[in-house]
Amino acid sequence: MRKTQPKRASAPTPPVVAATPDLHDKQSERDHRDLRIDKVGVRGLRFPVQVRDKTHGSLQSTVATIGLFVDLPKEFKGTHMSRFVEVLNAHGSVIHVENITEILRAMQRRLHAETSHLEMEFPFFLVKKAPATGKEGVMDYTVRFDAAACGESLDFVLTVKVNVTTLCPCSKAISRFGAHNQRGEVTVSLRSDRLVWIEEVIALVESSASSELYSLLKRPDEKAVTERAYENPVFVEDLVRNVALRLNALTEVTWYKVEAENYESIHNHNAYACIEKS
């Protein structure tokens, strides 16, 4: 008998792929409202960053909330939002503060912009020792960078927010015992022609208040902090003036704005003061 040969399996037919239509670039359409946009981009992007730490001479890892923006000429309908994230990711999975200038320049090139802006806000951490027992605790401070490139020129503003204790001089003067005190928030923004360390700004503010704050206090520490504040009463006006005097002594600082807000403990409102060096 003749053996029948098994049938060979036929090759599968490749699927028919429909031609992809051209994707229209809507953002690049002409706009006829004759209005230039100063800043357009993305905001609220969370990204790992590393900031140089003066105390240990190393890099501190933290997470920043970032905004990236460029100007938009009047003839264009919109910008390309995805390109901002591409520029950020092109610098690796962690952003170093030293890369800010590179990111600004890359945005100018990638988005064909005259100006570019970067805002970055993050928690900065310091280990502090309690004043009496020396026990260590970690304190956090809010730090913000606002950087901009316009053509070839660069601008950089450092902002540091520091919480402190303030004790009211008036309350101390008119009371038979005690005086009301409260937590205050000091915001310092500055420009400089040389590096100013974040830790330097924090120390400058804390030395200007009735007392600095700590994350860990035992009873001997609470006694020390309370008595220190009582012996060093400051109005909110005193606070901003004290900070401004210390900033005036830093020749590298070319501009500053100091704001202080006391969250009053016996009033239903806050006390506020501000000094700006033009």
Residues 85, 152 within the same domain: no
Looking at 80, 105, 122, the residue that finishes a domain is: 122
Encode pLDDT of 136-182 as tens digits. Answer: 999 999 999 999 999 999 999 999 999 999 999 999 999 999 999 99
Range of 236's domain? 130-278
pLDDT value of residue 28:
62
Residues 274, 139 within the same domain: yes
Residue 22 placed within a domain: no
Residue 19 placed within a domain: no
The tally of domains found in the chain comes to: 2
Q: Please check the confidence at residue 15 and state whether its pLDDT lies above 60.
A: yes
Residue 228 placed within a domain: yes
Encode pLDDT of 60-80 as tens digits. Answer: 999 999 999 999 888 888 788
Looking at 122, 151, 168, the residue that finishes a domain is: 122
Looking at 104, 122, 140, the residue that finishes a domain is: 122
Query: Residue 177: which residues within 8 A CB-CB, separation 6 or more?
Result: none
pTM value? 0.87
Residue 16 placed within a domain: no
SS (H, E, C) the chain: CCCCCCCCCCCCCCCCCCCCCCCCCHHHCECCCCCCEEEEEEEEEEEEEEEEECCCCEEEEEEEEEEEEEEECCCECCCCHHHHHHHHHCCCCCEEHHHHHHHHHHHHHHCCCCEEEEEEEEEEEEEEECCCCCCEEEEEEEEEEEEEEECCEEEEEEEEEEEEEEECHHHHHHCCCCCCEEEEEEEEEEEECCCCCHHHHHHHHHCCCCEECCCCCCHHHHHHHHHHHHHCCCCHHHHHHHHHHHHHCCCCEEEEEEEEEECCCCCCCCEEEEEEEC
Residues 163, 103 within the same domain: no
pLDDT value of residue 92:
87
97: CATH: 3.10.270.10
Residues 67, 137 within the same domain: no
Q: What are the tokens at 81?
A: 């939002």
pLDDT value of residue 17:
60
Encode pLDDT of 75-131 as tens digits. Answer: 888 788 999 999 999 988 888 888 999 999 999 999 999 999 999 999 999 999 999
DSSP-assigned beta bridge partners for residue 164:
184, 212
Encode pLDDT of 16-61 as tens digits. Answer: 666 556 766 666 667 778 888 999 999 999 999 999 888 777 889 9
Residue 20 placed within a domain: no
Please choose, from the candidates 152, 49, 71, 77, the residue with its C-alpha nearest in 3D space to the C-alpha of residue 117.
71
How far apart CA 84 and CA 73 sit, in angstroms, is: 17
Encode pLDDT of 233-276 as tens digits. Answer: 999 999 999 999 999 999 999 999 999 999 999 999 999 999 99
Residues 253, 176 within the same domain: yes
Residues 134, 92 within the same domain: no
